Structure formats: C-alpha cells, structure tokens
Structure 1
Amino acid sequence: MPELHETVYDSKTKRVGEVMDTAWGIVQLRPLHGGQEWDADTKDLSRAVSLERPSSDLSAVLEEWDR
C-alpha cells in the first residue's frame, strides 16, 4: 500500500499522481500539478521514477502519443 503523498504511477490510466487517501485497496490520486482526483486499484500502482514524472503539458502529449 503506498503512503500518503507518495508519487506513484497508475499503469491502468498511464498517469502519475500523488497519493491523497487510501481505503480498502483503493487509492485516491491527484495529478502532481493539481486537478481532478481519481481512484486507482493498488494492483495498478508502482512507485514513479523520475522518467515517469513529466510536466503536466508533456504528460498530455505522451498520453495522446501512446494511444
């Protein structure tokens, strides 16, 4: 289970977020530069490495490119 305020990578959504809350195997994440929180399953999470922490603008471009 990730710790509060830890930066993690959500492999299901291909997004990086900060852990805001945890309960019953669900983790609530927030984008690093603010924005709408989302729920993630712990099985889809891993610690984010520096290469997975791009700026929010670059994240959007990379998400589109990955599709």
Structure 2
Amino acid sequence: MSEDPCVPETGTFAVDFRDGSVGQVMGCEGGLVQLRPIGGGREWDCPPASVREAPPVEVLRERVRQVNREGRLP
C-alpha cells in the first residue's frame, strides 16, 4: 500500500517552494498537486516534493497582496 503523495490536504493553503507562490490546494492529478491562487485564477501544478503547508502569516501576506492588486484595477 502506497501513501498518497499529494499533501497538504485539499482546501488548505500551501507554498510552492519553486517560486514562493501561495495557493489553495485544489486536489491531485497525475501525481501533481494542483494549486489555485488566493483570490482565484488559473490553477498550476506542482510536484509534491515542492509543496508544503503555508504558515498563516504567508496566507495573510498573500491575501493582502491580492486586495492591493484589486484596489489598483481601473
């Protein structure tokens, strides 16, 4: 019996250590973790070895960035 390589759990937030992006874990497809940006947008795939659960401070920081980006839209 093998362990599911897709961690953390679906619905939680994770950091993609390849570039520091924070996203919500949407699931696992083809052995890759699918992350969606906070605030919505296009999902991206990440190898499980490059994903770790995001600390609350990282999630908050990304949410603030998203609010700031939305405030600058015309």
Whether these two folds match at TM > 0.5 is: yes
Q: RMSD of the TM alignment (CA)? A: 1.6
TM-score, normalised relative to structure 2: 0.67
- SS of equivalent residue, structure 1 residue 35: coil
* Higher share of residues assigned strand: 1
In structure 1, stretches of 5+ residues that fail to align are 59-67
**How many residues matched?**
58
TM-score, normalised relative to structure 1: 0.73
In structure 2, stretches of 5+ residues that fail to align are 1-5, 67-74
- SS of equivalent residue, structure 2 residue 57: helix
Conservation of the 8 A alpha-carbon contact between 1:10 and 1:16: yes
From 5, 10, 14, give the equivalent of 1:8. 14
Q: Could you say which residue in structure 1 is the equivalent of 2:44?
A: 38
Q: Does 1:57 align with 2:65?
A: yes
Q: Could you say which residue in structure 2 is the equivalent of 1:21?
A: 27
